[in-house]
Chain A
Amino acid sequence: MKKLVALGLSALVASTLMAKEIKVGVLQPLTGPIAAFGQKTLDGINLVHSKYNKLPNGDTIKLVVVDNQFDKIQTVNGYKRLVSNENVVAVEGPLASSMALAVKRFASDTKTPTVTQIATNPRVTKGTNYITRACFTDDFQGTVAAKYALNHKLDNAVVVFDMKQDYSVGLAKAFMKAYKKGGGKILKTLFINTGDKDFNAQVAQIKKLNPKFIYTPIYAPEEGLFLRQLRAAGVKAPVMGGDGIADPGLLKKLAGKAANGVMYTDHFDAAKAPTKLSAEFIKEFKAKYNRAPSAFAATGADGYLLIYNAVKQCDTPANSKNLSEFKACVNNALRHTKNLEAVTGYLTIDPNTGNPVNKPAVIEKIVDGKTQFVELVKP
Chain B
Amino acid sequence: MSAKKYFALIAIVTAIFIAFLYFSSHIFGGYTITVLGSIYIFIILAISYNLINGVTGQFSLEPNGFVAIGAYVTAILLISPEIKSELYMLSEPLPLIRDVFLDPSKPFNPFFALLISGAFSALVALTLAFPVFRVRGDYLAIVTLGFGFIIRIFLINNPEISNGSMGLDSIPGFASYFWIGVACLVTVILVYNIVYSRYGRAMKAVRDDEDAALAMGVNTFKIKTLAFMTSAFFEGVGGGLLASSIGSISPDQFTFMLTFQLLIIIVLGGLGSMSGAIIGTILFLGGMELLRPLDQATKHLGPFHGIPGLRMVVFSILLLLIMLFARRGLLGDKEIWDYIKIKKFKES
Contacts and interface: CB of A to CB of B under 8 A. Distances in A.
B165 A85 contact: no
A235 interface: no
A77 interface: yes
A173 B252 contact: no
A72 B156 contact: no
Interface string B23-42: 00000011111110010000
Contact of A84 (B29, B251, B296): B29
A98 B246 contact: no
Contacts of B109: none
Contacts of B166: 121, 166, 169-170
Contacts of A83: 30-31
A77 B36 CA distance: 10
Given A30-B296, A104-B247, A166 B31 contact: no
Interface in B84-122: 89-90
Interface in B236-268: 242, 245-253
A287 to B, nearest CB: 19
Nearest to A163: B156
A105 B34 contact: no
A123 B38 contact: no
Contact of A39 (B173, B245, B297): B297
Contacts of B247: 102, 104-106
A31 B173 CA distance: 28
A35 interface: yes
A166 B250 contact: yes
A148 to B, nearest CB: 24
Nearest to B308: A35
Interface in A74-114: 76-77, 80-81, 83-85, 98, 101-102, 104-106, 110
Query: Among A35, A102, A166, which residue has the most Cβ atoms of chain B within 10 A?
Result: A166
A28 B245 CA distance: 21
B248 A102 contact: yes
A98 B292 contact: no
B311 A31 contact: yes
A98 B250 contact: yes
A105 B31 contact: no
Given A164-B156, A169-B90, A173-B89, A98 B31 contact: no
Query: Among B249, B252, B297, which residue has the most Cβ atoms of chain A within 10 A?
Result: B252
Contacts of B57: none
Contacts of B246: 72-73, 76, 102
B167 interface: yes
A217 to B, nearest CB: 13
Interface in A284-306: none
B170 interface: yes
A67 interface: yes
B152 to A, nearest CB: 8
B157 interface: yes
A173 B295 CA distance: 36
B310 to A, nearest CB: 9
B169 interface: yes
Interface string A156-167: 000000011110
A166 B162 CA distance: 12
Interface in B50-88: none
A84 B164 contact: no
Contacts of B33: 80
Interface string A328-339: 000000000000
Interface of B: 29-35, 38, 89-90, 153, 156-157, 164-167, 169-170, 173, 242, 245-253, 292, 295-297, 308-309, 311
27 contacts: A35-B295, A72-B249, A73-B242, A73-B246, A76-B34, A76-B245, A77-B35, A80-B30, A80-B31, A80-B33, A83-B30, A84-B29, A84-B30, A98-B250, A104-B169, A105-B173, A105-B248, A106-B247, A110-B30, A163-B164, A164-B156, A166-B167, A168-B165, A170-B89, A173-B89, A173-B90, A193-B156
Q: Which 10 A-B pairs have the closest CB atoms?
A: A84-B30, A31-B295, A81-B31, A105-B247, A80-B34, A84-B29, A166-B166, A80-B31, A166-B165, A101-B248
Interface of A: 30-31, 35, 39, 67, 71-73, 76-77, 80-81, 83-85, 98, 101-102, 104-106, 110, 121, 123, 127, 163-166, 168-170, 173, 193
Given A35-B308, A81-B31, A170-B166, 17 more contacts: A31-B308, A35-B295, A35-B309, A67-B295, A72-B246, A77-B34, A77-B38, A80-B30, A85-B32, A98-B248, A102-B169, A110-B30, A121-B166, A123-B89, A163-B165, A164-B165, A169-B90
